[in-house]
Amino acid sequence: MNRKAISTSLGAALAALAILSAVFAASAGAAPAWKFEGKSLEGTETVLGAAIDSSMTIPGLTTKCEDFLYKLTIKNEAGTGKGEVTEVPLFNCTASEVCTVKAIAAEALPWPAKLTTVSTSNYIVIEGVKVSILYAGTKCVLGGTKVVVTGSAGGLIDNPTETATFNATTLTATGTSLKALGQKIEWNGLFPTEAFEWHREQALSVS
């Protein structure tokens, strides 16, 4: 093969490589967006997530709440889904036979939120989480202690069921963590989520 042919072949290969790299870069940089009925959300919407089952475990003590909800204002900004958790009502919370939950409340609201893709899965990442829990009980090791849970949490989005799942696996996948008393804690929650304003009863998805 002569020098001109080699040069032409090399140039074609480099051009193909550049195009391929651009395609992969665009794919890697693509961020998920909020969608209703398959169409990207325009403007803002309010969605509510109500846990089917939710608990926070500080080593040695698990706190469960029958009513664990979050109110989230969502929008798409530059093609990326974002939002703010504005309300987190927590009611009917219990701990153990010897420890009762005297008070529990979400603090420092709103908490910023964003959508992200890890591998091929979409997640919602909630940052600035802060929940204070006051335990009581004469035999409770944490009786009279105000425990403050802080950090960030990533939840896996499942489009068919319109749910967000938070657990140790989803937090690890998103590089997020929650801490209390200087230790990592576990948060497990399954939250069916739906719109409560302009897109009520429309299918919510992330892609």
d(CA 80, CA 13) in angstroms, rounded, equals 34
Nearest to 116 by CA among 104, 106, 125: 125
Average pLDDT estimate for 153-158: 98
Is it the case that residue 180 has pLDDT exceeding 70? yes
Please compute the mean of the pLDDT values over residues 163-174 and round it to a whole number. Answer: 97
Distance CA 40, CA 81 (A): 9
Structural domain spans, the chain: 1-30, 34-206
User: What does pTM read for this prediction?
Assistant: 0.83
Least confident segment among 23-37, 67-81, 82-96, 173-187:
23-37
Q: Which H/E stretch holds residue 21?
A: helix 3-29
How much is the pLDDT for 53? 77
pLDDT of residue 30: 57
Confidence of residue 23 (pLDDT cuts 50, 70, 90): very low
Contacts of 120 (CB under 8 A, 6+ apart): none
Q: Give the DSSP H or E segment for 145.
A: none
Q: What are 47-105's pLDDT values in tens digits?
A: 999 998 799 999 889 999 998 999 999 999 999 999 999 999 999 999 999 999 999 99
